Amino acid sequence: MRTVPALLAALFACVAAAGADDAVIVNGRATTTALSEDELRAFFLGKRTTWEDGTKVVVVVLRGGGSHESLLQRLGKSPQQFITGWKKLVFTGKGSMPEQVNSEDELVALVARTPGAIGWIDAGKVADGVKALPLR
């Protein structure tokens, strides 16, 4: 029965994480328990490249689709501006391009097996090996 509160808590975390439909997820071994809006922007725009424990941040994004558009809306960027921002970092040595995947299942799987990974998906897709972080 102890799993029920845990499941409720996880569900709450998913919903609170990023809005009614989306969630920010990280690798299951991450020590971070919540993100601020500024931290969310810093990670997905490549301004912060390491986690608190020193692990490299690996940003995983969808090539397109509703969840990706919702992320861009949250960041206040068009698809062009998002990619251009990352290319600025890559071609000045200040960052590495996000890993791009075609589906939310792929995204979850990649985040689950990659230490330091962070992604943005439909909240209903959260699965084993990743955890949804609430936004402070």
Partner 1 sequence: MPVRRAPMPRLCATGALLAIATAAAHAADDHNLQFHGFASQGYFLTRNNALFTSESQDKGTFEFNEVALNAVATPVDRLRVGIQLFAQDFGDSFNNKPQIDWAYGDYSLPTYGVLDLGITAGRLKMGHGLYNDYRDLDVTRTSVFIPMAVYNPRLRDYFLAVNGLGVHGTVNADAFGSFDFMTYLGGQSSDPHEGTIHDIFFDRGLDLDRVHIEAVDGANVTWNTPLEGLRLKYSLFNLRGLDVAGTIQPGAIVPLIPGSAAQLNFNQLWDTIVSVEYQRGDLTLAAEAEYWYLKGLLHGDAGIPVTIPVYQIIHSAYLSAAWRLAPQWEVEGIWQWNEVDTVTAAKDKFYGFTAAVRFDPIEHWLIKAEYTWIHGTSLLRAAEQPHAGFDEVWGYFALKTTFDF
> How many other C-beta atoms lie within 10 A of the C-beta of residue 20?
7
Question: How far apart are CB 83 and partner 1 at their closest, in Å?
Answer: 7
Question: How far apart are CB 20 and partner 1 at their closest, in Å?
Answer: 22
Nearer CB in complex with partner 1: 73/103: 73
The reply on whether position 78 binds partner 1 by CB under 8 A is yes
The reply on whether position 136 binds partner 1 by CB under 8 A is no
Q: Supply φ then ψ for residue 132, to 5 degrees.
A: -85, 135
Supply 1's token pair: 């029965």
Give the integer Cα–Cα distance in Å for 25 and 104: 11
> How many other C-beta atoms lie within 10 A of the C-beta of residue 122?
19
What separation, in Å, do the N-terminal and C-terminal C-alpha atoms of the chain show?
Answer: 29
Question: How far apart are CB 15 and partner 1 at their closest, in Å?
Answer: 25
The SS3 call for residue 30 is coil
The reply on whether position 73 binds partner 1 by CB under 8 A is no
Question: How far apart are CB 77 and partner 1 at their closest, in Å?
Answer: 9
The reply on whether position 83 binds partner 1 by CB under 8 A is yes
Interface with partner 1: number of residues (CB under 8 A): 31
